[in-house]
Amino acid sequence: MRTRVRTGAPARVTGALVAVAALLVSACSAANPRTSAGAVEAALAALPRSTPSALSPYYTQTLRWRSCGVPGFQCATMKAPLDYAKPASGDVRLAVARKKATGKGARLGSLLVNPGGPGGSAVDYLQSYAGVGYPAEVRARYDMVAMDPRGVARSEPVECLDGRRMDAYAATDITPDDRKETSRLVGEYRTFAEGCGAHSARLLRHVSTVEAARDMDILRAVLGDRKLNYVGASYGTFLGATYAGLFPERVGRLVLDGAMDPSLDARTLNLDQTKGFETAFRAFAKDCVRRSDCPLGGRGTTPAQVGDRLAAFFRKLDAQPIPAGDAGGRRLGESLATTGVIAAMYDQGSWEQLREALTSAMRKQDGAGLLALSDSYYERDQSGRYSNLMMANSAVNCLDLPPAFSSPEQVEKALPAFQKASPVFGRALAWASLNCAYWPVRATGEPHRIKAEGAAPMVVVGTTRDPATPYPWAQSLARQLSSARLLTYVGDGHTAYGRGSACIDSAIDAYLLHGTPPAPGKRCS
Q: Which amino acid is present at 295?
A: P
Element (H, E) at 266: helix 266-288
Q: Beta strands 322-323 and 484-492: pairing type? A: unpaired
Q: Which amino acid is present at 156?
A: E
User: How far, in Å, CA of 204 to CA of 159, rounded?
Assistant: 10
CA 145 from chain center: how many Å?
19
User: Of 263, 422, 494, 501, which residue is the catalytic one?
Assistant: 494
Nearest to 373 by CA among 324, 328, 434: 324
Alpha carbon distance, N-terminus to C-terminus of the chain: 27
Burial of 165 (0-12, 13-18, 19+ CB in 10 A): middle
Give SS3 for 360: helix
User: Of 234, 335, 422, 476, which residue is the catalytic one?
Assistant: 234
Nearest to 334 by CA among 185, 120, 161: 185
The residue count for the chain: 525
**Catalytic annotation on 387?**
no
Nearest to 458 by CA among 231, 246, 253: 253
**Catalytic annotation on 514?**
no
Q: What is the largest CA-CA distance in the chain?
A: 69
Q: What is the crossing angle of helices 408-421 and 266-288, to 10°?
A: 40
Q: Beta strands 331-332 and 322-323: pairing type? A: antiparallel
User: How far, in Å, CA of 230 to CA of 240, rounded?
Assistant: 7
Alpha-helical runs (H) found in 51-178: 56-59, 122-125, 131-133, 136-141, 163-171
Give SS3 for 238: helix
**Catalytic annotation on 482?**
no
Element (H, E) at 396: helix 389-400
User: Of 124, 318, 347, 466, which residue is the catalytic one?
Assistant: 466
Q: Catalytic site residues? A: 234, 466, 494
